[in-house]
Chain A
Amino acid sequence: MTCLPSLTDKKLGLVIDLDTCVGCQACVTACKGWNDQGYGAPLSDQEAYGEAPNGVFLNRVHSYEAQPLDAPAQIVNFPRSCLHCDDAPCVTVCPTGASYKRVEDGIVLVNEDACIGCGLCAWACPYGAREMDADAGVMKKCTLCVDRIYNENLQPIDREPACVRTCPTGARHFGDLGDPNSKVSQLVTARGGYNLMPDLGTKPTNKYLPPRLKDRQSARPDQASLLAPLLDIEAKGFAGWLDRILGKIS
């Protein structure tokens, strides 16, 4: 049923560190790679080698430029995927019961055999987490790699979502956010993890860690450039003579 469970045993989710993310897109590639071959319909591409290639991705990394009034602009790389909300609006709008939130771990999933591809869940999600597969006509979304995290055929180290496993900077963390003592929960507490668009009442499970404040160089003029003394280059020999002569002309 598409009614939401009042309580889930666990709240599995991701914690994404915007301070550490370098925007390399490795998580995007790993996600696409894993979800091409495992759970459900493979994420299809249209015109993959044509003029306007496009396809389904469950994770997309945007980059934003933040411009403070009194300091240089800063780039923040921002991975965007399903937040596995407690009050997921995508689940309750589903007319067929294909969209559901699991009681055991809180993962929001789509039963693709029951999905009619009406697209209403994608409309209901404020975060753009769901994309319709143009090939299979069913809705695709992050499964939190449900076919990896419980997969006993994999090495224990690999039993986490593909995006987390692949992240070269360790910007993505996976765990139970319902357990206050879990590593991810402690990380959220320590770093002030936050929700996206909190006033929509979706209660996301995934949390984002804000970028740490950068050191700021003092704005005093005498420290404006440490290289200033070195910039005063004095030409010698013929070039020096030419420099002096030309300097006198104007």
Chain B
Amino acid sequence: MNPAASVIIFTVFSGFGFGLLALLGFGCSGAQGWSAFFLWGLGYGFAVVGLLASVTHLGNPQRAWRAFSQWKSSWLSREGIGALTTLFCLAPAALGAIFGLPIWSVFGPIGGLLAVMTVFTTSMIYAQLQSVPRWNHACVPLMFASFMAAGGLIVLGQLGQALMGLGLLALVLIVGFWIGDSQFPARAQTIAKATGLGHMGALRLFEAGHTSENYLMREMIYVVGRKHRMKLRVIAVVLACFVPMLLIAAGQGGDIARGLGLLSHLCGACVARWLFFAEAEHVVGLYYDQR
């Protein structure tokens, strides 16, 4: 699948933003005043930038409001509704923390729960697609949830919690790569099933019917990314998990160490998300005899 910058920024930024907001909502930080303003601002900033990036992905962004209507069937619609509801629901909690009105924090846990649900709906946009076997697996929501937790814990968790979150993320990523690799073969979708001509002999594409690339090939047959997949996987896990772990451990959970760790984590998350798209193979590639 095409790793478009807009969807990478959308999923990474909003995932981190909602992760931080969820922990803030659950009351993991006792920050007040300016430090609360900074933390909530960081969460809101990332979540909103991520959502805006997703809007730039659209062919007709002026109609984006229509995406709130189909919650009954569409995970993408649920994601939009979840995101906005979370942001509105947490606003009183944020203002309460900044201006010292503890009673408003009752909105926090509800908003935190909504944030978790929102990230789940984001992951289901991809995990629901049978046409992309690598994504159509429970490890995708687990991966999104792990990123959400790890990102939030880098900022807010105690030293041990941050390290544990990052360690868990590394494990989920590695297992996810391993499971993901076996998904396309496991579905047994082949050029023979795609065309129904398997009984005639070994099949290959003779002519694609058109001489230049088209939307389908640009969007769903992204072969470039797989050349360096192993190196990129190592880079992703090291940057997203191991470097932040080392920095935070070395800095004894200090603010500068956490800041640098977060920077590295987000870079690693972008690499991992780029791979998430670039590695995923769509079954339509079978008609082109390419994956």
Size of B's binding interface in residues, CB under 8 A: 58
**Restricting to B67-126, which residues have a CB under 8 Å from any CB of A?**
67-70, 72-77, 80, 125
Interface size class of chain A, counting residues whose CB lies under 8 Å from the partner chain: 35 or more
Check: A69 CB closer than 8 A to any chain B CB.
yes
* Chain A, residue nearest B126 (CB): A123
Residue from A93, A95, A114 whose CB has the most chain B CB atoms within 10 Å: A95
Identify which of A74-82, A153-161, A163-171, A234-242 touches chain B. A74-82
Contacting residues, chain A, for B282 (C-beta < 8 A) = 123, 126
Residue from A52, A122, A131 whose CB has the most chain B CB atoms within 10 Å: A122
Contacting residues, chain A, for B207 (C-beta < 8 A) = 23, 62-63
Identify which of A144-152, A193-201, A215-223 touches chain B. A193-201
B259 to chain A, nearest CB (A): 34
Check: A102 CB closer than 8 A to any chain B CB.
no
Check: A30 CB closer than 8 A to any chain B CB.
no
Pick the contact of A115: B60, B209, B213 (CB < 8 A).
B60
Pick the contact of A208: B70, B76, B196, B209 (CB < 8 A).
B196
- CB-based contact B67/A116 at 8 Å: yes
Identify which of B172-180, B198-206, B224-232, B242-250 touches chain A. B198-206
- CB-based contact A67/B205 at 8 Å: no
Check: A1 CB closer than 8 A to any chain B CB.
yes
Contacting residues, chain B, for A137 (C-beta < 8 A) = 58-60
- CB-based contact B210/A60 at 8 Å: yes
- CB-based contact A73/B201 at 8 Å: yes
CB-CB under 8 A for A62 and B205, given A138-B59, A210-B196: yes
CB-CB under 8 A for A3 and B73, given A65-B203, A97-B66, A116-B61: yes
CB-CB under 8 A for A95 and B70, given A131-B214, A194-B196: yes
Check: B162 CB closer than 8 A to any chain A CB.
no
Check: B129 CB closer than 8 A to any chain A CB.
yes
B95 to chain A, nearest CB (A): 30
B255 to chain A, nearest CB (A): 39
A110 to chain B, nearest CB (A): 12
Give A137 to B57 CA distance when docked, in angstroms.
10
Check: A22 CB closer than 8 A to any chain B CB.
no
- CB-based contact A92/B131 at 8 Å: no
- CB-based contact A67/B287 at 8 Å: no
CB-CB under 8 A for A76 and B219, given A93-B74, A95-B77, A126-B131: no
* Chain A, residue nearest B200 (CB): A66
Give A105 to B27 CA distance when docked, in angstroms.
54
Contacting residues, chain A, for B138 (C-beta < 8 A) = none
Residue from B57, B75, B213, B287 whose CB has the most chain A CB atoms within 10 Å: B287
Check: A211 CB closer than 8 A to any chain B CB.
yes
Contacting residues, chain B, for A128 (C-beta < 8 A) = 216, 220, 284, 287
Contacting residues, chain B, for A114 (C-beta < 8 A) = 63, 66
* Chain A, residue nearest B215 (CB): A131
- CB-based contact B206/A118 at 8 Å: no
- CB-based contact B197/A210 at 8 Å: yes
- CB-based contact A1/B201 at 8 Å: no
- CB-based contact A63/B219 at 8 Å: no
A201 to chain B, nearest CB (A): 8
- CB-based contact A95/B80 at 8 Å: yes
- CB-based contact A63/B209 at 8 Å: yes
Give A140 to B212 CA distance when docked, in angstroms.
19
Pick the contact of B73: A1, A71, A196, A200 (CB < 8 A).
A1
A77 to chain B, nearest CB (A): 9
B276 to chain A, nearest CB (A): 13
- CB-based contact A120/B125 at 8 Å: yes
**Restricting to A173-195, which residues have a CB under 8 Å from any CB of B?**
194-195
Give A98 to B74 CA distance when docked, in angstroms.
12
Check: A143 CB closer than 8 A to any chain B CB.
no
Pick the contact of A123: B58, B66, B199, B219 (CB < 8 A).
B219
A-B contact pairs, 29 of them (CB 8 A): A2-B70, A2-B72, A2-B73, A25-B209, A64-B205, A67-B201, A76-B195, A89-B131, A92-B74, A95-B66, A95-B68, A95-B74, A114-B66, A115-B59, A116-B66, A119-B57, A119-B59, A120-B125, A122-B219, A123-B1, A125-B131, A125-B284, A126-B131, A128-B220, A128-B287, A132-B215, A199-B189, A200-B130, A200-B283
Q: Give the interface of B toward A (CB within 8 A).
A: 1, 57-61, 63-64, 66-70, 72-77, 80, 125, 128-132, 188-189, 191, 193-197, 199-210, 212-216, 219-220, 282-284, 287-288
Q: Give the interface of A toward B (CB within 8 A).
A: 1-3, 18, 23, 25, 28, 52-57, 60-69, 71, 73-76, 78, 80, 89, 91-98, 114-120, 122-128, 131-134, 136-139, 194-201, 208, 210-211
Across the A-B interface, the 10 shortest Cβ-Cβ residue pairs = A117-B59, A137-B59, A66-B200, A68-B201, A128-B284, A96-B66, A95-B77, A95-B67, A95-B76, A63-B207
